[in-house]
Amino acid sequence: MPIFDLPAVRACAADSPYAAVDVFIGTGGDGHCHPGATRPFGMVQLGPDTQHRHYRQSYPWAAGYRYEDDSILGFSHTHFSGTGHGDLGDVLLMPFTGPTKLEPGYPERPLSGYRSRFSHELERGEPGYYAVKLLDHEVEVELTCTERVGLHRYHYVKGDAAKLLLDLRSSVYNYPGKTLWSRLRVRNGRLVTGMRETRGWAPGRQLYFAIEFSQPIRAHEIHSTEEAVEYRGFRPPGQDPQGRRVLEGRALVAAFEFGAVPANQLMIKVAISAVSEAGAIANLAEMPGWDFEAERAAAASAWVEALGVLEIDAEPEMRQSLFTAHYHCLMAPSLFMDRDGRYRGPDNEVHRAEGFRFHSTFSLWDTYRALHPWLLLTQPAARNADFINSLLASQQASPHGILPVWQFHGIETWCMIGYHALPVIADAFLKGLRGFDAPAALKAMTASAEYQPYGGLEHYMKLGYIPHDREPEGVSKTLEYAFDDWTLARMAESLGETELAARYYQRAQYFRALLDPKTGFVRGKSSDGRWREPFNPAAAGYGSDYTEGSAWQYSWYMPHDCAALIENLGGDAGLIRRLDEIFEAEADPKQYSHMEDISGLIGHYAHGNEPSHHIAYLYSYGGAPWKTQRRLAQIVPSQYRVGPAGLAGNDDLGQMSAWLLFSAFGFYPVAPGSNEYVMGRPFVRRASLRLPNGRIFTVRAEGLSEANVYLGQVTLNGQRHGQSYLRHEDLMAGGELVFRMEAEPNLEWGQPRGVRPYSQTPYLALP
């Protein structure tokens, strides 16, 4: 029976966390999520690519797939979920019937190539499983995977010869010259291997693969479609595409024919490796059999376990958003090593992980804020230690001797700013994570924070800020470096490195040089100390002093020292006034339209991008937590919805999702490294977290309704909780946090100053 004649398949009961995930949330609009099959933190993310060949479509197609598209190019094995820049889409396979078409053709001209139309009616996605009917080829496709191996099952129409296209030219964010080199090798009737090397987001990235078929190849052809080149080399054996077993070049495409296959089914395993073809072949052993249902069940089971740390009682749409958010939090950092522990590091050399599992895809500018704190609460310590050991191993292998900035597949991309591996490591350490060499980590962190050729650090260290006439985006860099420095200081202090701590506590104050008391903004300064003129607080992006943002969005970024912010704005009232201003400004969205990442606007507040993520929580620092509560009631429903367009901005490998999860639980880690979460207000009736230490922490909202926007009273384990923050140790002890929701604000709660969230001073010395 055709798979789509069956009712929608769910691996678990309808009320299970697994069933609550909608893998299509964020696959349209600005989410840039990918709906393909993957394991938690899996190396393979196997799913459909719909992007057109033309590279100028890069931003919207950063994940390779857009829900709005109506045709599929094929199924590739690596994807980002939620990034603002594209790459990957490795090893594109496309089943087909009829004549062989080597080019994908055009979406607007059906049947013009191997691309096929599809309909969401005949498309299914679940964690670890994806299925679609290719309408033009009449092939039903099912996909599942282990960590390193993708498994395809194609259902051809009876009587059709099973055919398959492999396009090594295809890539997410493709453009002429991206593929530096590639190889393809038909090893025998069931095994094809190869590699390709690309200059994409990660330059000189090598990706090896091994493809195993459930049925023997009956015929194949391999082509190099490269345009005229000066020298092609002497001709290898098998001149004709039909006779070739091996080919290399810059534009390889192959077609395979399997004839009539038993039960009209062809299954294909694809293992990837960054090391070698031999490594990819060895990775195939991760999936020894050909039992698709068993593999699918195993993938589902991995997700059931990973999702099962959460229990959520909420409105159905919120519940779906939250489980999907948690699902999105478990995409990256992803495993990136062979079964024998070998991986390719930032020096593009092969290393072996000893005592840990190497992970890559660190979107650190995004994920240090809430994703890593969320993973510390929901993932085993060993997994979190793997992340940190991967960062440290990367620093060891880095040609620059520094921790990753934005790394994937082991390779540094230099995307975004900051050295945000520091807050990731420090936050984990301060929260008690062990399993890595903390003194060595501190050294690696210091090396990163003092590497002068990087992002204006030379000026930062000399002048105490980054001047606009020496380095672009100097305000954003100064602010973020200062925060990163503070996390280093915190960890150094905790390790007894008091001198180092003192030095970095001092650097953590460098942001003050750019606080402009006259405008209240954080503002660019030249190397001779003059404010940048003219000043437009809405100026954003290239040429401004701000990274994917404006002064409106960036002037809040000293989460470790909100006291300075408050002082600069003339006290609590000034802070609150300015916060109201950002949300209530009649900002013309067009002024940000040149910045693709600035989305999800409420006034100047841009929830779709990370610099805004902590802003709503800052009211509490000024003694007005009820305003945080009201803003969250405004933000959450407007920025998170179910459905493909449900995310207001790029999910950024889980950061947008982690924000929602924390916020729905009623608190948010404004300053990772502080061991505090700032209280917001819950969006769930009841939710609990099974913590990695085995304890359960539950949040309950009494009287939750659309009208009851505000917190009345809060109790922790039955005791009144008057602080507008929650300490990490209280959370980790397990217990119950009860919010009483009311329609009117409790203006007393979270007052006076002593119960507000931290600012710099209390942390100069650790408790």
Binding site for a copy of itself (CB under 8 A): 55, 173, 175-178, 180-181, 183, 185, 187, 197, 199-204, 229-231, 233-238, 243-246, 248-249, 276-278, 347-350, 399-400, 406, 412-415, 451, 453-455
Nearer to a copy of itself, 290 or 414 (CB): 414
- Give the C-alpha separation, 701 to 713, whole Å: 10
Nearer to a copy of itself, 402 or 684 (CB): 402
Nearer to a copy of itself, 75 or 213 (CB): 213
Question: Token pair for residue 46?
Answer: 């196997």
- Give the C-alpha separation, 181 to 187, whole Å: 19
Residue 666 sits at the vertex; the CA angle it makes with 754 and 589, to the nearest 5 degrees, is: 100
Q: Is the dihedral of CA 660, 661, 667, 668 positive or negative?
A: negative
**Contact (CB, 8 A) for 34 and 81:** yes
What residues form DSSP beta bridges with 164?
A: 95, 256
Nearer to a copy of itself, 222 or 671 (CB): 222
Place of tokens 């608190």: 667
**Contact (CB, 8 A) for 726 and 679:** yes
Question: Token pair for residue 385?
Answer: 């230690």
- Give the C-alpha separation, 232 to 138, whole Å: 38
Least distance (Å) from a copy of itself to the CB of residue 516? 28
Dmax over Cα atoms in the chain, in whole Å?
Answer: 83
Least distance (Å) from a copy of itself to the CB of residue 31? 23
**What DSSP string runs through 305-350?**
HHHTTEEEES-HHHHHHHHHHHHHHTS-SEE-S-TTSEEE-TTS-E
Tell me how crowded residue 726 is: count the other CB atoms within 10 A of its CB.
Answer: 25
- Give the C-alpha separation, 621 to 610, whole Å: 20
Least distance (Å) from a copy of itself to the CB of residue 510? 19
Nearer to a copy of itself, 59 or 535 (CB): 59
Give the orientation angle of helix 438-449 with respect to helix 381-397, to 10 degrees.
Answer: 50
Q: Is-cis flag, bond preceding 534, omega within 30?
A: yes
Least distance (Å) from a copy of itself to the CB of residue 415? 5
**Contact (CB, 8 A) for 577 and 585:** no
Nearer to a copy of itself, 38 or 609 (CB): 609
Nearer to a copy of itself, 350 or 645 (CB): 350
Residue type, 130: Y
First-to-final CA distance of the chain: 66
Least distance (Å) from a copy of itself to the CB of residue 154? 27
**Contact (CB, 8 A) for 692 and 381:** yes
**Contact (CB, 8 A) for 167 and 221:** no
Nearer to a copy of itself, 453 or 496 (CB): 453
Q: Is the dihedral of CA 333, 336, 337, 338 positive or negative?
A: positive
Nearer to a copy of itself, 135 or 350 (CB): 350
- Give the C-alpha separation, 492 to 293, whole Å: 50
Least distance (Å) from a copy of itself to the CB of residue 591? 25
Nearer to a copy of itself, 313 or 458 (CB): 458
Burial 111-143 (b: 16+ CB within 10 A, else e): eebbbbbbeeebbbbbbbbbbbbbbbbbbbbbb
Nearer to a copy of itself, 117 or 183 (CB): 183
Least distance (Å) from a copy of itself to the CB of residue 635? 30
Least distance (Å) from a copy of itself to the CB of residue 234? 4
Nearer to a copy of itself, 144 or 193 (CB): 193
Nearer to a copy of itself, 173 or 504 (CB): 173
**Contact (CB, 8 A) for 400 and 407:** no
**Contact (CB, 8 A) for 694 and 377:** no
Nearer to a copy of itself, 185 or 577 (CB): 185
Strands 92-96 and 162-167, bridge-based pairing: antiparallel
Least distance (Å) from a copy of itself to the CB of residue 199? 7
Nearer to a copy of itself, 175 or 531 (CB): 175
Nearer to a copy of itself, 348 or 360 (CB): 348
Least distance (Å) from a copy of itself to the CB of residue 158? 34
Dihedral, 39, 44, 45, 49 alpha carbons, nearest 10: -160
Least distance (Å) from a copy of itself to the CB of residue 476? 15
Least distance (Å) from a copy of itself to the CB of residue 361? 16
Least distance (Å) from a copy of itself to the CB of residue 73? 20
Least distance (Å) from a copy of itself to the CB of residue 450? 12
Backbone φ and ψ for 709, nearest 5 degrees, come out as -85, -20
Question: Token pair for residue 575?
Answer: 């802070």
Question: Token pair for residue 544?
Answer: 């401004």
Tell me how crowded residue 241 is: count the other CB atoms within 10 A of its CB.
Answer: 17
CA distances from 755 to 411, 439, 767 (A): 44, 34, 16
Backbone φ and ψ for 341, nearest 5 degrees, come out as 90, 0
Least distance (Å) from a copy of itself to the CB of residue 521? 27
Least distance (Å) from a copy of itself to the CB of residue 412? 8
Residue type, 758: Y
Residue 713, SS3 per DSSP:
strand
